Structure formats: structure tokens, C-alpha cells
Amino acid sequence: MKNWLWVNANNLIQITRNAAGLFINDDRIGALLDKMPVVARSVAPTRFGEDSADRLTPFVETRAHLLRRYYNGYDNRSCRDFKLSYEELVTFGEFQLPDCLQVDLTAFSVNLRQKEWKVDPRLKRHGNAACEIFTAIGKLHRQPDGQMMNELNLRLSNWDVAGKSLALAPTRYNQQVGTNLTLDWASGHLSRRNSMTLSGHINATTRNDLDFSANGQLTALRDSCLANVIGVACMLYTAKGHALIRARSGATAIMADRDKMHCSASGAVTFPDDPAKLSSGKEFENYLYAEMAREIQEETGLGPEDYELRLVAFARELVRGGHPQFFFSAQTKLERFVIEERLRTATDRWEFRDSEELEERLKMFQSDPVAYLDTYSEIFTYEGFAALMLTAAFKEQCGD
């Protein structure tokens, strides 16, 4: 099964050089935007009740124009012009973008909490229901020992760029399922905002009623009731400038069943066996590199010796209520046929599907990326698109 595609990153240079003004329409809604209010006080639920036979209806809102109306307190040129479903974007090293701070992660102090983070009691019943329905529809998988996947992940509990400090804590994957991954699901197990009771309300959602935006911005990580497991995502480039695009399977937890193009590798950061690996900003950065390399190994079959990895940017995702994401660029000297052989035997190749149905859409994208990006949501996951745009801009500005 061929579960990959190649895109010539050189075609993206015209976009990253002058992104402003490219995106006249937002998800093809065109003039309808003029009739919509700029500010929305809520995001409509995407799903109601506990119908385990429904494998298609999403648990989160992914349409950028609706999320932008809700999170309307931002004015970051780079996020807007690159059409990212992310905010609070910062860059690393020599990489610079308009309206974005450059950060030296090694200068950060780290506050590591050893005690496992647990979900807010108001979310407990909703979280249990989320895990049950995710299992029923095949979005939570069993490990080789038969137990349900519930690994110990790393939570970003605070991120203070000005103060050069961050806070971390361990948390379980199922805590993420019950929070970030089901933000817009009206499960019937959540109470309304400011309610004094834990009784469920048919229309209540986590985004609107528990982690709501009071100022048009994402809830600060230090105040968030979400799991906020750290994510890493990478785009791999060959020496000839081709980016490895994957055909993401709808079986993965956050993705809808409609399959789209994704980045080369991505995943959640696990909690280390030795907490000393998180004792400083430098150690934390090293650990992020190690976790990204692990995901690349599992999803592509490539080892750290096969590429050069660079940390490019950090941002918080609007879809998952501020989910923290670190973006990487990987440069390899391997030929495409060598990479493809590794992809066929990668451990986690099940996360990707046959890409033949996406070939025609990719051809259209490569023929005129500027014109076709207006409908980018038809072909890319929001995470994959952000990884592509940010790493393409990084490569143009900083080289290989």
C-alpha cells in the first residue's frame, strides 16, 4: 500500500515570500463573511449524545472561519496570512516571522510537577463517556497486551515567553480524549457555564461552558482545564526539495473519517522514564528532539542518522482549544526510493492509508499552489498544512 505523496517544496516559495492577500476567501465562504458577525460568543456543538453507531460526526469544530469568529482577540499577521488554525506563534533560532517573538528555549526555566494531572471533576463523567465512545468507534486502540492505549503523556501547564519559564506535568492520554479531543461534543454530561450543579445539560460543551474564551483568546495554559498534552509535528524534505506528505487515516483520534494529507510524522510527547530529562530548558529542548525522532522512526522507519532535525516554531491550536504544538523541519540526503522502502515497513504505518485517491488533488495543488490553497482545507489536515507552511518558510529563510 502506498501511503505517501511527494510535493515539490520549491513551488511553495512564492507563497512564503508574499503570503499577504493570497486568501481572499475563507474556506470558500466568500462574500458570506460580510453577513456574519465578527464576534461569536460560542461555537455550536458539532455532535450530540452518545451514538456509537455514528463514526463520522466530529467531536470538535475544525472550520477555521467559525473558530476565528470565536477566538477573535488575535491579530497576528503570520497566522492570518499563512492561513493557520493556530495562534500565539513563536519561532526558534534564526527563523523570523512577522508579529512573532523569537524564543531561545534553552534559556527557559522549568517547573516539573511529579504528581499526575487529573481532570476537573466537572469533566469526569464527560471524559468517561468520551473514552467509551472512542473505543466503540475504533479511535482508541488496544496495545499488544490487550489493554486500552492510555500512555503517560507530558502536559504543558504553563508557557510564559516573557518570563522565560514553563511548567510541565504528567497526564494520561484518556485525559486528553475527555478534554481537548471532544471540545464541541454535547455529551449530556456537562453543566452550563457558572452552574452550581454537576447535572448534565443537553447543549453544554467544554469549549463554551468550561474552557470558554472570555476575551476572544485561548485560555492561558496556567488556567486551562484541558489536558494540553504537548504535540510534535515534522515535515521531511529531500535534498531536491521534495516534502514527504502522508495520507492520514480517519482511524486516528482527532481526524474525521474523511482522509486528508498530513505532515511526515506527528504525535504526542510521552512522559520520560527519568524526570531529570526535563530539569532545564536545554534538557526539555533535547527531549522534544528525542520525542520527534521517536515519532519519525515509528511512522517512517527513518532513524536519527538519516536526517538533520531543526526545531522551527511553537503555536497553540484553535481546534483543540489551545493544544500546544512544536513544529520541526527534517532534512535528509536519502533518495526517495530509499525512504519509500522504509515507509512500507514502518511500525505505525496503520496510521496512514492508501494515497491514490489524493493523487489528483495533489497534482492540482502542485500545478498552482497559490490558487489552490484557497481550498486547502479540502486536501490538508490543519496540522499538516501548518507544518508545511511553517517549514517551507523556514527553508526559504534559513536554508537547509
Most confidently predicted of 29-38, 47-56, 138-147, 363-372: 47-56
Do the strands 185-186 and 231-237 form a parallel or antiparallel pair, or are they unpaired?
Answer: unpaired
Question: How far is Cα 11 from Cα 127, in angstroms, rounded to an integer?
Answer: 43
Residue in 245, 271, 272, 247 with CA at minimum distance from that of residue 258: 247
Contact of 138 with 114, CB cutoff 8 Å? no
- What is the residue type of 305? E
CA angle 243, 249, 253 (to 5 degrees): 115
In this predicted structure, what is the pLDDT of residue 314? 99
Residue range 88-115: mean pLDDT, rounded: 96
In this predicted structure, what is the pLDDT of residue 22? 37
CA angle 64, 269, 351 (to 5 degrees): 65
Most confidently predicted of 3-7, 227-231, 358-362: 227-231
Mean pLDDT computed over every residue of the chain: 85
Of 23-27, 97-101, 123-127, which gets the smallest average pLDDT? 23-27
In this predicted structure, what is the pLDDT of residue 91? 98
Higher pLDDT, 391 or 33: 391
Please state the pTM of the whole predicted model.
0.90
DSSP bridge pairs for 261? 247, 380
- Cell for 84? 493557520
The residue ranges of every structural domain in the chain are 4-398
Question: How far is Cα 99 from Cα 281, in angstroms, rounded to an integer?
Answer: 24
Of 178-187, 253-262, 323-332, which gets the smallest average pLDDT? 253-262
What's the burial of 366, exposed, middle or buried (CB within 10 Å: 0-12/13-18/19+)? middle
Residue range 67-95: mean pLDDT, rounded: 94
Using pLDDT thresholds of 50, 70 and 90, give the confidence band for residue 56: confident
E strands, the chain, where?
4-8, 47-48, 86-92, 101-103, 109-112, 152-160, 165-172, 185-186, 231-237, 242-248, 260-262, 265-268, 307-317, 323-332
